[in-house]
Amino acid sequence: MDGAIDLRLIITIGGILFSVAGAAAIGKMQIAAILSQLTDIESRLRAIDRRIDALDTVSEKQSEKIKIFSGMLSPEHLRRDNMVMASVLSDIEYLKKQSDKMVAMHNGSHPATARDHSK
């Protein structure tokens, strides 16, 4: 058996080749399954990213609106607006009194004028 190839060696080498080919086929199938899962995960992540972007946009808009409303309703703005409103109401009251005086002075009748006598 020096240098001769016997049947056991051929069967052993065949078995090893068969095992390597089987392992390669299984590996190829597993790689294909992993790639399929990876594609599915990637599409799901893209959908999640789109939803997150939309939610971020809505959140930013709401935050900006809240900032505007909080500015409008701040104590300083309310105080200023109330002071302006008080001033406007005071002016209206004064103008009403002046209007009443003018109506009372006029009283619906006109005194005779120089023009009326010249006719």
Domain membership flag for residue 114: no
Q: Which amino acid is at 54?
A: A
Are residues 61 and 83 located together in one domain of the fold?
A: no
DSSP-assigned letters across all residues of 75-105 = HHHHHHHHHHHHHHHHHHHHHHHHHHHHHHH
- What the block records as the tokens of 26 is 């299984």
Domain membership flag for residue 50: yes
Domain membership flag for residue 64: yes
Are residues 53 and 65 located together in one domain of the fold?
A: yes
- Distance (Å) of CA 52 to CA 47, 56, 98: 9, 6, 63
Are residues 67 and 84 located together in one domain of the fold?
A: no
Q: Residue 116 pLDDT more than 90?
A: no
Burial class (CB in 10 A: 0-12, 13-18, 19+), 27: exposed
Are residues 51 and 67 located together in one domain of the fold?
A: yes
| pLDDT-derived band at 6, boundaries 50, 70, 90 | confident
| Number of structural domains found in the chain | 2
pLDDT one-digit tens code per residue, 34-75? 999 999 999 999 999 999 999 999 999 999 999 999 988 888
Q: What is the pLDDT of residue 42?
A: 97
| pLDDT-derived band at 18, boundaries 50, 70, 90 | very high
Q: Do 79 and 73 form a contact (C-beta atoms < 8 A)?
A: no
Q: What is the pLDDT of residue 9?
A: 86
3-class DSSP assignment, residue 4:
coil
Domain membership flag for residue 82: yes
| pLDDT-derived band at 8, boundaries 50, 70, 90 | confident
Q: What is the pLDDT of residue 104?
A: 77
pLDDT one-digit tens code per residue, 87-96? 999 999 999 9
| pLDDT-derived band at 110, boundaries 50, 70, 90 | low
Distance CA 27, CA 19 (A): 12
Q: Residue 118 pLDDT more than 70?
A: no
Q: Domain range spanning residue 48?
A: 27-71
Q: What is the pLDDT of residue 72?
A: 86
Distance CA 73, CA 67 (A): 10
